[in-house]
Amino acid sequence: MCGATLAALALLFGGGLASAVENMTDAPLTPSSHDLDVAKLPLLPSPPRADGHEAVSFLRDVQPALTKAGCNMGSCHGSLQGRGGLMLSLLGYDAAKDYDALFKHSRGRRVAATAPEQSLILQKATGAVPHGGGIRITRESECYRVLERFIAEGFLAPEAELARYEKPATALPVVTKLNVTPVELVLEPGQAAKLQVQAVWSDGSIQEITPWALYDVRDKQLADVGRSGTVSALRSGRVPVTVRYMGQVAAVDVTIPYGPSRELAEFAPRNYIDEIVLREWRKLGLQPVETCDDAEFIRRTYFDLIGTLPTVEEVRDFLDDDASDKRSKLVDALLERPEYVDFWSLKWSDLLRVHRRYVGEKGLESFSAWIRRAVRENRPVDVLVRELLTAQGNLYTSGPVAFYMIDQKPEELAETTSQVFLGIRLQCTKCHHHPLEVWGQEDYYGLAAFFTKLEMKDNKDAGRYGGARLVKVTSTQPKNRKLEMDAPPLFFDKQLDLEGQADIRQSLADAVTARDNPYFARNFANRYWAYLTGRGLVEPIDDVRATNPPSIPLLLDALARDFTEHGYDVKHMLRTICNSSVYQRASRVTPGERENSQFYTHRAPRRLPAEALLDAVNRATGAADIYEGIPEGTRAIALPDPSVKSYFLDLFGRPARNSGCECARGGMPDLSQALHLANGTFLHDKIVRERGRVDRLTSGKTTPDAIIDELYLATLSRLPRDDERVAVRELVATAPSPKEGYQDLLWTLINCTEFQFNH
């Protein structure tokens, strides 16, 4: 650490800091262009004492020291129940509460005003007396000196500190922002660089806090970060480094190129997606794979856009078409297919948890019909969300009312609204400040407050809609909708103008869908990108936050901007992505390069959703499933809810719709699934079924090669390779009969990864 930095920090925390901070730093580094001369930064002085010396502040000095020592972590005294009788706010977000816990509770036995070094909080932290958390600090550390001085100076309460200023403030200052320099790091493996961090306080002051911030890196195989902010690159990739301090968070993208920059002249951009990704590939030294062939493209787009395996005739027609624009025409055609409505209604039904257990049979019919109509009409997403948030009236005549039947508590509605429509997971802020975000309990209960003036009741009127559930807006808050923590309506960090509004949900809907709301468009742009490419720019795709940045930030910004400018048109978004050269990369990984789908150099294969896989098996075998209580001919992607019995769908990850999280759908293959297809009667019965595909092909005059071709086209959407054709002929020739040989072939094709995965 440079002498200017030590001098500046010494002014902030008092004498003796230099040697102590040196003990906290990482190995010395060669100065680089990333270094910042912190001596030139405006520092926040502690308020002066009567004797002219600087006083230690609980808010600005003690809380950061406790946090750096790990005392208020979730695994220690910052847990919901606390530890050893001491409970602190997580990461020090509540100064008043923590001061009382340390210096007032337990009859003040934790401090010794006349002999600070004998204070229990110092004795335990240094291990002088038994401590469940072990030794957290040493007597030589600056954390110790801060705490000792604060006790010696009379441990002034946070509120009392305000009187020390020339112009006393009316409220305790808080950190409003972190300035981290540099905002992005590009390092070669083995290189390191130092971050510099400033805290911006609500009173306008700026404080250099680099040694006192907390640092973390998501993937420790790619990079490491030391206690004082030194980032070391380990191997190629991109990973965010998280910086936390006093309730605020920031993230720095660390990029470790895979090799020298490449020209990639052979890659032809088709739209803005390709131009942005191409720049990233060049920057990272990545080589994308070739464009997928027509057979791979048709199968991919069918599953991505309509969740359906193409027929043999559709594949043949597409492969035989010589038009240069046949791919874009195929995308346009698929967006108008009835299966498009089935498939995307299924996705919305999963997110909104459409299920008869919440709304009954008639409610299910009403809600499902509304979703299907919205998808069929390509209703803009902002309109759809607005209808849900402001729904009221009769469930049987207004489908969106079901939104308030599935989640009835205001807190649950706040969580669903935040996660599904904004991609923000607020659940943990119900009890404490978010450890990885700026959101706190005031944001959680402030959002929930928009849903308190509602009344749910049964309609007792006779007639066609008698007995339906009603949602009614009230002028006062019903007792059963009282929040656990009183809070005024607050849309995260925005105070909305609610004056004179009978239904404040209207203002909430305006704020959620506003064009300047950075979360709304980014959330849905990230979701649709993930649905089509197999991986979100942000992962998990419904966890958009500062400390979970996108793998290609400029691309997510561009997708969100394009989505907004085109009126939240879903089909425009899907069409734009499918027509990009990035989307049309082959699924093959370049030999010699480590597989990495984070930057979309190749298509990342993923297992088909349960419903699409079952429909694909049925189409390939020519043997459809019949579902109890459902009209014959209904495909799995069109089933209304998971209460329709299907062992296959449950086994292969159909969500129970008890959570709006994308993680509710199982996507990982397991042994029980493999055994069900390979060793059970389910697939066997379909393959040998009379008038099934094999029975039809072997009952006529179809030649052996034509049968082989059709079985490949019906399953893998491609013709067999020469070596495959030779192997299949040998299989059929050695089978007890040709028919059994073709049955074995179809069984093999359905059980192969190429069939069960979208690639």
- For residues 91 and 433, the answer to whether their CB atoms sit within 8 Å is yes
Q: Which two tokens stand for residue 130?
A: 């038994």
pLDDT at 464 over 90: no
CA angle, 699 as apex, 697 and 701 as ends, to 5°?
A: 75
Q: Mention every residue, 6+ apart, whose C-beta is less than 8 A from residue 604.
A: 533, 534, 535, 587, 597
Rounded CA-CA distance 522/516 in Å is 11
**Confidence bin at 266 (pLDDT 50/70/90):** confident
The single-letter code of the amino acid at 573 is M
User: CA quadruple 625, 628, 630, 631: dihedral positive or negative?
Assistant: positive
Compare 102 and 50 and report the one with higher pLDDT. 102
pLDDT of residue 20: 34
Count CB atoms within 10 A of the CB of residue 194.
23
Q: Mention every residue, 6+ apart, whose C-beta is less than 8 A from residue 246.
A: 63, 64, 67, 91, 92, 93, 174, 175, 199
Pairing of strands 454-458, 223-225: unpaired
Pairing of strands 757-758, 606-607: antiparallel
pTM over 0.95, yes/no: no
- Secondary structure of 321-377 as H, E, C letters: CCCCCHHHHHHHHHCCCHHHHHHHHHHHHHHHCCCHHHHHHHHHHHHHHHHHHHHHC
Helix (H, G, I), strand (E, B) or coil at 470: strand
Rounded CA-CA distance 239/184 in Å is 11
Rounded CA-CA distance 325/329 in Å is 6
Rounded CA-CA distance 59/78 in Å is 16
pLDDT at 215 over 80: yes
- Using the structure block, give the residue that is written with the tokens 């059980």: 751
- With both helix axes pointing from N to C terminus, report the angle between 610-621 and 704-715 in degrees, rounded to the nearest 10: 170
- For residues 597 and 610, the answer to whether their CB atoms sit within 8 Å is no
Count CB atoms within 10 A of the CB of residue 691.
9
Rounded CA-CA distance 745/751 in Å is 10
Q: Which two tokens stand for residue 463?
A: 């007639």
Q: Which of 302, 312, 369, 313 is nearest to 337 (CA)?
A: 302
pLDDT at 610 over 80: yes
**Radius of gyration over alpha carbons of the chain, in Å?**
31
Rounded CA-CA distance 363/368 in Å is 8
Q: What is the pLDDT of residues 332-366, one digit of tens each?
A: 999 999 999 999 999 999 999 999 999 999 999 99
Q: Which two tokens stand for residue 259?
A: 């090799």
- For residues 668 and 607, the answer to whether their CB atoms sit within 8 Å is yes
**Confidence bin at 434 (pLDDT 50/70/90):** low
Rounded CA-CA distance 148/139 in Å is 10
Q: Which two tokens stand for residue 653?
A: 């990850």
User: CA quadruple 88, 91, 95, 99: dihedral positive or negative?
Assistant: positive
Mean per-residue pLDDT, 204-218 = 89
By mean pLDDT, which of 451-455, 458-462, 463-467, 747-751 is the weakest? Answer: 463-467
Q: Which of 583, 469, 533 is nearest to 758 (CA)?
A: 533
Rounded CA-CA distance 161/171 in Å is 10
Q: Mention every residue, 6+ apart, whose C-beta is less than 8 A from residue 550.
A: 526, 537, 538, 556
| Alpha carbon distances (Å) from 71 to 90, 117, 143 | 9, 18, 11
By mean pLDDT, which of 514-518, 585-589, 727-731 is the weakest? Answer: 585-589
Alpha-helical runs (H) found in 199-355:
272-284, 294-306, 312-320, 326-334, 338-352
pLDDT at 36 over 50: no
Q: Is the peptide bond before 182 cis (omega within 30 degrees of 0)?
A: yes
Helix (H, G, I), strand (E, B) or coil at 730: helix
pLDDT of residue 180: 96
Got the DSSP string for 528-564?
Answer: HHHHHHSS-SSSSTT--BTTB--SSHHHHHHHHHHHH
Q: Which of 388, 411, 419, 418 is nearest to 401 (CA)?
A: 388
Q: Which two tokens stand for residue 375?
A: 């998808």
Residue % of the chain over a pLDDT of 70: 88
Q: Mention every residue, 6+ apart, whose C-beta is less than 8 A from residue 49.
A: 55, 153
DSSP state of 567: T
Helix (H), strand (E) at residue 169: none
Of the ranges 246-250, 450-454, 491-495, the best mean pLDDT one: 450-454
CA 621 to chain centre: 37
Domain boundaries, the chain: 48-164, 294-307+518-605, 380-513, 607-758
DSSP state of 588: P
**Confidence bin at 167 (pLDDT 50/70/90):** low
In this structure, what is the dihedral angle of CA atoms 360, 361, 364, 370, given to the nearest 10 degrees? -130
Q: Which two tokens stand for residue 378?
A: 């390509």
Residue 459, Cβ density class (10 Å: 0-12 exposed, 13-18 middle, ≥19 buried): middle
**For 461, phi and psi rounded to 5 degrees?**
-65, 145
Residue 659, Cβ density class (10 Å: 0-12 exposed, 13-18 middle, ≥19 buried): middle
Got the DSSP string for 617-645?
Answer: HHHHHT-----TTS-TT--GGG-S-TTS-
Please, which residues bridge with residue 224 across strands? Answer: 232
Question: Mean pLDDT, the chain, as a whole number?
Answer: 86
pLDDT at 639 over 70: yes
3-state helix, strand, coil in the chain (%, to 5): 45, 10, 45
pLDDT of residue 522: 96
By mean pLDDT, which of 27-41, 158-172, 640-654, 671-685 is the weakest? Answer: 27-41
Got the DSSP string for 220-263?
Answer: TTTEEE-TTSEEEE-SSEEEEEEEEETTEEEEEEEEE-SSS---
Mean per-residue pLDDT, 648-675 = 91
Rounded CA-CA distance 603/588 in Å is 7
Q: What is the pLDDT of residues 681-721, one digit of tens each?
A: 999 999 999 999 999 999 988 999 999 999 999 999 999 99
- Using the structure block, give the residue that is written with the tokens 């035989």: 320
Q: What is the pLDDT of residues 368-405, one digit of tens each?
A: 999 999 999 999 999 999 999 999 999 999 999 999 99
Q: Which two tokens stand for residue 417?
A: 């609204």
CA 415 to chain centre: 14
660-676 as b/e, with b when 16 or more CB fall inside 10 Å?
Answer: bbbebbbeeeeeebeeb
Helix (H, G, I), strand (E, B) or coil at 240: strand
